[in-house]
Amino acid sequence: MIAPGAVYLAIRLGCFAGVLVLMATLERLRPRRTQIIARVQRWPGNLALIVIDSIAARLVLAAAAIAVAALSQTQGWGVLGLLALPDWVEIGLAIMLLDLVIYGQHVAFHAVPWLWRIHRMHHSDPEIDVTTALRFHPVEIILSLAIKGAAIAAIGASPLAVLIFEVLLNATAMFNHSNIALPLWLDALLRRVLVTPDMHRVHHSVERAETNSNFGFNLPWWDWLFDTYRAQPAAGHQGMTIGLEEFRGERDQRIDQLLVQPLRGTSIKGADHG
């Protein structure tokens, strides 16, 4: 008999690899921005982080999220455990609430100085494409998993809801970080229910007001509700500058420099505090 954890990992890994290859292919066929900095300068560090984070942390440690969900369901923990709701309603609510938690976490990582120092590695990519979606410091991954585990227990999300949410979050993050050009009509239609590449790209601008907007990874509704939504970058998508001014060098993109970046200098571009 195959263990549930093994099935969970297989589904996540399969979806991860499929979406990554698909987005990377579409970026080559229909790019949104002409990238000035070559992939060869950025991708080695980004891909190394994918190995460290997405394989080791996201896929292995994240299996604990399913275990937390199963324990919560067995013990009757969480808000949803107190309600007699149809399974499909419970799953939908759990996914929405977990997405709200991720939105709040993202805002906090910009607002709290020491959290920003950890998170800013994600923003220090001088270009944005599908690999940027997976460019997170291992410490941030661990903190995120802890926050997510607490949220799962508090909400009372089922293992199936957690699995669906994790797959959706990973896939939509790679989609909305990708450098693909969508027809404007399709972007306008999709961003009613999904964070699109044009919407999230604004968040990676060097302009502080734009960096502190469009925090959603999956659902766009929280940015509308909490007034953090910005439709377009002031300089336009081709004219905007991506990243952080102090970490634009080729050396800054090496894996060793990325891992020690939280200890380097100070940056307030994306944080509300210094």
pLDDT grade, residue 273 (50/70/90)? very low
For residue 109, pLDDT beyond 50: yes
Residues across the chain? 274
At 199 the pLDDT is 98
Distance of CA 70 to the CA centre of its chain: 24
Q: Which residues contact 58 (CB under 8 A, 6 or more apart)?
A: 12, 141, 170
179 near 32, Cβ under 8 Å?
yes
Residue 27, C-beta contacts closer than 8 angstroms, at least 6 positions apart: 129, 130, 178, 179, 180
Residues 6+ apart with CB under 8 A from 82: 76, 156
Domain ranges of the chain: 4-30+38-263
The reported pLDDT for the residue numbered 57 is 60
pLDDT digits (tens, 9 = 90+) for 62-92: 567 777 788 777 777 888 878 878 989 999 9
How far is 158 from 81, CA to CA, in rounded Å? 9
How far apart CA 107 and CA 215 sit, in angstroms, is 7
| Locus of tokens 């709290």 | 112
pTM of the model: 0.88
Tokens 């500058």 locate to: 241
* Average pLDDT rounded to a whole number, residues 126-139: 92
Q: 35 and 204 in contact (C-beta within 8 Å)?
A: no
Instruction: Give residue-wise pLDDT tens across range 175-234.
Output: 999 999 999 999 999 999 999 999 999 999 999 999 999 999 999 999 999 999 999 999
